[in-house]
Structure 1
């Protein structure tokens, strides 16, 4: 069995329930530091001035990256036995097995996550762009589209690709919608990114000068600190730059980060952004890949099921295909990718899982 705690998906419901449960058990600063240290992690790398609800995602992700998430959970249960049953229930919800599906090429995956419990629909261009990203040819990727087109949904394939052991890649996510409750400025986004990378989160820059100068100073400080990190490939994903709470300074600082990536000043870094207006420098445009989303259609659902049929070597008739698509559309609308993907995944497992498979 594949356990969620060993292969966590930070975008699913289990992650949210886990963080809510942990936050109910421990929310005081000193308690959180003690747990972080008890898990074998260095507390000086985290900005402990944030609310506990914002700190728990950082704590669990850091523990998972260090291979210490299971230890951290056991530590919490030992310190607060009353929360143990709740944590067990949350983490048992996704003990699954999808061993019947194992594509040879990660970028072509149609089912992702622990137990292959997430369907990935469409994303033909993104699949090709991520290969370019991995091969170091195009280090910047911009994903755009109308609200609700599924820009954030692309993260599932990006995280899946970054998790390829052959890449030895570190994946870091800053999600505007989840990480910020209200207005976010250039300093805020850089502070969040620094925290994700385990870098100092103080930026001694002049906040009362012109915005362009503040942006340059923020990125200069970040570049200097980034150089001290161990050398490895890092995929940095900044999601939600088209949200209404995002200031123009955030767009400027992300464009400046892209310039530093293009110039080789952030060694091993690949920058992926969603919702950026696209005003990158000419030099960045030369090394940038762009995915413009237009929404999922019934033909994408058909392609998903045909792809699975080819993978398992099980022919699918036109009538069977139509029935599968109708089944999915009976549960979800095409413009709700999260629900649509879940419905497609359930239909796929019911139809394609070989007899006798777990």
Structure 2
């Protein structure tokens, strides 16, 4: 069993892996060239829903994460909970081959988590009746019908306030005192995994967790890892004006996703995620696109998506925008590196979770910790 682990990376995967190791009794040295607020995890929507994470282990990781998120995830620093339970809707066009149920909705991995999802496939008419009785807000019905959407998935998801959650996780790592060394925001990156191993030995570590996300493309020379660029705009959730209020009292926000039909596509999904005090409107999923800023045409498209979601863009201005590169890989790399392990050192890679970092992070961290600690 490893007694001290060098964890490299301060995104959601690195921080939760460090926490898992500390909770199991190991000491941790957490290092990263970036602070959590400058990682892709910080700007992500935080929606629990498997998305571009192509691995046979994804469903199990997702359900383990859902179980933890369903506990509410209280911030130990007293800043409140950083997880919200809200309705989630994914619209499907009449000819969409995915109108049936996704495999992650089967409940195979956890009856309790599956029950909390309350996953249903509804017609558009059934969905809007459900929304009326449940008092949750959806895009204007006439536009959805005119665009050819006939069915939808409806389930109860969990949405993480990513900035608050990352801050809480880092604080929890630090709360372990002498068992946790934290050195993030250094601006210094490892050139190779071998350099990580050498640094681990210099600091008395007998194991390494490489959670560098997209950085592994260069550090590990991993040609299968690509950045899948996401572009978002933000609205102030507390004051945004809607075209969809019915005048009958307060309505609950819902997460809405459209990946096909007239409004969306796999490369340009249309979605809105209520996250903390923001409404996150997206988006793009463009592999190999490294443009760091929102392009003018993308901004126009994002504003159109906001309008489709029912935001009155004539009375509500975006309060921010963000671009991030999701670390996509055909199969996630969560495995022991046998070539670097040995001579008293265990080396584990954990990266390549695509657009599902906030969906799989608990299960992935538990598997990584087991590989590091259970010989």
TM-score (norm 1): 0.23
Structure with a larger share of its residues in helix: 1
Q: TM-score, normalised by structure 2?
A: 0.23
Structure number having the greater strand percentage: 2
Greater RCO, 1 or 2 (C-alpha within 8 Å, sep 6+)? 2
